[in-house]
């Protein structure tokens, strides 16, 4: 897949709050429940706040998807910790056939990390120029830590 495809998708993507409004009341409640339970530690906030290069994160998600409800609100929490450097956009996940094999997964959101020029730094994407993977690795570590903390409070998408 070419980087220009992701630039176009990012430009048409929705910020988290607007994406959340595309769901039903129950879907919005579940996403909000996970978001409310997810908190970054001071060390995690400091790590994200220290990012010096801009990063755009494009999420192919399904507002209806149980795995997405457990992942996407956590990514939003991380992105909010440095809004000067991290831009997050959501696209309703296309049909399976429309995603390149490198981006297909069995469930959950597909995250494509882009640098400040919207150049992908994710596997399976042909970048038009190299992008730094440092922030991408830091986000992966943060996401793992936040997921673990949310799970320790109970399954993220559980009904109230």
| Domain definitions of the chain by residue range | 3-152
**Is residue 150 very low, low, confident or very high in pLDDT (cuts 50, 70, 90)?**
low
Which positions ≥6 away from 3 have C-beta within 8 Å?
Answer: 118, 119, 120, 125, 126, 127, 128
Write phi, then psi, for 79 (nearest 5 degrees).
-60, -35
pLDDT on residue 117: 59
Contact status, residue 87 vs residue 55, Cβ threshold 8 Å: yes
Instruction: Name the residue with higher pLDDT: 7 or 118.
Output: 7
**Is residue 129 very low, low, confident or very high in pLDDT (cuts 50, 70, 90)?**
very low
pTM, full prediction: 0.71
**Least confidently predicted of 70-74, 75-79, 113-117, 134-138:** 134-138
Each residue's pLDDT tens digit, 88-113: 999 987 655 455 555 555 555 666 66
DSSP 94: P
Structure tokens at 51: 């990012």
Q: Over the chain, what is the mean pLDDT?
A: 75
Cα-to-chain-centroid distance, residue 65: 14
H or E element in which residue 61 lies: strand 55-61
d(CA 38, CA 42): 13
- Look at residue 48 and tell me whether its pLDDT is greater than 50: yes
Write phi, then psi, for 148 (nearest 5 degrees).
-65, -40
pLDDT on residue 36: 95
CATH 3.40.50.410 fits 3-152, yes or no: no
């Amino acid at each position: 897949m070419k980087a220009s495809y992701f630039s176009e998708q990012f430009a048409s993507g929705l910020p988290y709050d607007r994406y959340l409004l595309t769901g039903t009341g129950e879907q919005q409640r579940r996403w909000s429940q996970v978001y409310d339970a997810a908190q970054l530690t001071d060390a995690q906030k400091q790590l994200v706040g220290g990012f010096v290069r801009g990063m755009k994160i494009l999420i192919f998600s399904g507002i209806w998807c149980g795995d997405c409800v457990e992942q996407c609100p956590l990514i939003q929490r991380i992105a909010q910790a440095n809004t000067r450097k991290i831009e997050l956009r959501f696209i309703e996940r296309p049909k399976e056939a429309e995603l390149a094999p490198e981006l297909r997964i069995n469930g959950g959101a597909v995250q494509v990390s882009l640098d400040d020029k919207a150049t992908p730094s994710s596997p399976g994407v042909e970048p038009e120029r190299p992008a730094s993977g440092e922030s991408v690795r830091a986000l992966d570590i943060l996401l793992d830590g936040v997921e673990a903390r949310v799970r320790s409070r109970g399954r993220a998408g559980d009904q109230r």
